[in-house]
Structure 1
């Protein structure tokens, strides 16, 4: 396996880093994401099983680019909110890092829920709608709303336990 990984790396690393540099416009970020792409392959499957290496590498790298942009958007929104706070209420760098990590984890959890469960959870949590109101708005039964909300809340509890 190590030889396949070494071959995959030596044959395609430079190409992937160039592709990422063009996509991101930043050589440093491109190098980081190229490295992360190969780490994902090391953690995942055997390089010998990869039939179309560049297509496979682009798929992994593109997912990492999307994750990076999502994290940057969350961090930017948080920093804007933080900047709008009065100075005496500003948080320490340690607290800020914990809050950002929590927000990233919540974002991942919501992304993994599926569209229906995510929408039901957000309607209940942020708009304060009850089961019947959510069911009416989405055109689903109260039982369906409860099922999806239980799924979402179970994920929240698992996230809190971690």
Structure 2
């Protein structure tokens, strides 16, 4: 009969970094085709671990450190690309504005941060719920107009709006509790 596998030796966050940073950076470089971006995102991955609540206490329980790091790195990449998409959309919208309506760099940064927060707030909503909510809030469309546009009943739109509103309120509540 085979003896049960013993758990791997525990690693501190420092050991996790020392043993895996270069490997993670190479893994990211293969996917991004950019060594600078790979280095930034590898660093961001470890920053995310450092800032996670009580991560230092959990590091010992990680059985497959590289698999765990890949999972975290994928989330960091998704957040990075989401932020970049928001920034590009924002800059395109700015370029379409007449010059006299230009805004200061401080106002621009405030607007970008607001867009990031809105994106984070809407994250987790289904695509249809998110679309209905944005059509209502950004385009000022009525529930009937949204229903017609999306090919659904007005009662479905009302349910979507209730779900989106509840989601946003809970997000705001959690954000206030974290502050």
**TM-score, normalization: structure 1?**
0.80
> 69-78 or 30-39, which moves further after superposition?
30-39
2:77 aligned residue: 65
Q: CA RMSD in A?
A: 2.8
User: Is the 1:41–1:47 contact (alpha carbons within 8 Å) kept by the matching residues of 2?
Assistant: no
1:158 aligned residue: 172
1:109 aligned residue: 121
Larger Cα-atom Rg: 2
Q: Residue 27 in 1 paired to residue 39 in 2?
A: no
Unaligned runs of 5+ in 2: 1-9
Unaligned runs of 5+ in 1: none
Per residue, is there more helix in 1 or in 2? 1
Alignment of 1:10-159 (within 5 A): 10-42=18-50, 43-44=52-53, 45=55, 46-126=58-138, 128-132=140-144, 134=146, 137=150, 139=152, 142=155, 144-154=156-166, 155=168, 158=172
Following superposition, which runs of at least 4 residues in structure 1 exceed 6 angstroms of deviation?
A: none
Q: Give how far 1:149 is off.
A: 1.2
**TM-score, normalization: structure 2?**
0.73
Once residues 135 and 88 of structure 1 are traced to their aligned partners in structure 2, the CA distance between those partners, rounded to angstroms, is 37
